[in-house]
Structure 1
Amino acid sequence: MNAALLHSDLFLLTATVGLYCFGSALYRRLRMPLLHPVLLTFVAMIGVLRLCGVEYDRYREAVRVLDFGLGLSVVALGYLLYEQLDAMRGRTVPILVATLAGCVAGILSVVWIAEAFGAGRQILTSLAPKSVTVPIAVAVVEPLGGITALTSVVVFCVGIFGSL
């Protein structure tokens, strides 16, 4: 197959969406957590990229539109939270305290555990934002010198399998 085609934005975007659609159909049919469509797409795209010799930076640039859509989904979650505003009135302090405590416990626990296993600063920086959305985690990790690919995988795994 033509190398230019395999490195094109259209091919990489189509492969990603196509693999996700295939994974969704398979998951709906079998309902096995390890066959989650995002996990299948993730693993399959690693294979496709390695097979085609496409670097991750090239892939990331090609599927930037999906990253943009992911950012929009964060806004959609914010809107759903806004719709619950009436239910949250009068409970601001408990909500803020619980959110702050959960954030601090989540960050410190993963950093301390990784540190106990001898992880370096770059790995610790990459693991710290495990409990937020991918766009926010990547935006935080990138300027701090973390590994954005590792952060994306960790956030993804937490989202699918629960807390790590």
Structure 2
Amino acid sequence: MTVLLHTPLFWTALTIGCFLLGQHVYRLTGNLVLLPPILTGFGLVITTLKLTDTPYAVYMEGGRYLHDMLGPVIVMLAVPLFQQLKALRQDAIRIALAVTLGSATTLACAWGLTIWWIGDPMLAQTILTKSITTPVAVAITSQLGGDPSLAAAFVILTGLLGVILILPILTLLRIRQPEAIGITLGVCAHAIGTSRALELGEREAAYAVTAMTLTATLHAIVLPLLAGLL
């Protein structure tokens, strides 16, 4: 058993298996918003690590294979974007405004609330990248002087909360346009929100992919420039 726990491919297979089990649970519960597959899989992996007393470094010997695939997987999301390219061109100005204002709001709230409640500049710099995909967040956080590992945790938590809260809030506000739903999921919940948009329809998915990509690009350009000021 000890040998198995130190085998990198074991942890790769376990992670994939936990996610597939999460998908099964998600379908059995009628796509319950409180149980997205990534949350169930996340909990199962953590439980396994805790029960086997496995260090994070040992897990990442296998987990890095999946981590390295994040970039190509994000690129594959260009397919729904291409399918809705005509509509996206027509809404280009509105998308740009929504992404810019949405990104500015998330940055201001994250920085301001962290400084106000906690007063830790390093933590505030780390949480600034919470609304972009993990590979980009880790790279930018390193430039800002934050904690990359903590940044990855913030990204996951933000995505999960976004998937759980965004749709009920939009329903409460009577916002039902596919474009608005997609942009909100993409800006606020990055890849996890985009995966939820893929379940809703092609239009939601395309706008979520566009918003997620533009948000990550905007953060990558603006945050290093703001590092000195913050």
Is this a same-fold pair by TM over 0.5?
Answer: yes
Determine whether 1:27 maps to 2:26: yes
1:6 Cα deviation from its structure 2 partner: 0.5
1:44 Cα deviation from its structure 2 partner: 1.9
CA distance in structure 1 between the aligned counterparts of 2:96 and 2:161, rounded to whole angstroms? 25
CA distance in structure 2 between the aligned counterparts of 1:59 and 1:45, rounded to whole angstroms? 10
Corresponding residue for 1:80?
80
Corresponding residue for 1:120?
120
Corresponding residue for 2:161?
161
Deviations 1:20-65 (A, max 9, x none): 1111111110133332221112122122222323222332232122
1:129 Cα deviation from its structure 2 partner: 1.2
Corresponding residue for 1:8?
7
CA distance in structure 2 between the aligned counterparts of 1:73 and 1:41, rounded to whole angstroms? 18
TM alignment of 1:123-134, pairs within 5 A:
123-134=123-134
Calculate the TM-score normalised by the size of structure 2.
Answer: 0.62
Corresponding residue for 2:49?
49
1:135 Cα deviation from its structure 2 partner: 1.7
Q: Between Structure 1 and Structure 2, how many residues are aligned?
A: 163
Amino acid at match of 2:104: V
| Alpha carbons of structure 1 residues 53 and 77: separation in structure 2 relative to 1, 3 Å | same
> SS of the counterpart of 2:44?
helix
Corresponding residue for 2:16?
17
Calculate the TM-score normalised by the size of structure 1.
Answer: 0.84
CA distance in structure 1 between the aligned counterparts of 2:143 and 2:57, rounded to whole angstroms? 16
1:142 Cα deviation from its structure 2 partner: 3.0
The structure with higher relative contact order (CA 8 Å, sep 6+) is: 2
| Alpha carbons of structure 1 residues 82 and 119: separation in structure 2 relative to 1, 3 Å | farther
| Alpha carbons of structure 1 residues 56 and 24: separation in structure 2 relative to 1, 3 Å | same
Q: CA RMSD in A?
A: 2.2
CA distance in structure 2 between the aligned counterparts of 1:60 and 1:107, rounded to whole angstroms? 30
1:119 Cα deviation from its structure 2 partner: 4.1
Determine whether 1:137 maps to 2:137: yes
Corresponding residue for 2:202?
none
1:118 Cα deviation from its structure 2 partner: 1.4
CA distance in structure 1 between the aligned counterparts of 2:116 and 2:103, rounded to whole angstroms? 20
Corresponding residue for 1:65?
65
Comparing 121-130 and 57-66, the one that deviates more: 57-66
Comparing 17-26 and 83-92, the one that deviates more: 83-92
- Counting aligned pairs with the same residue, the percent is 31
Structure 1 alignment gaps of length 5 or more? none
Amino acid at match of 1:85: L
> SS of the counterpart of 1:63?
helix
CA distance in structure 1 between the aligned counterparts of 2:66 and 2:22, rounded to whole angstroms? 17
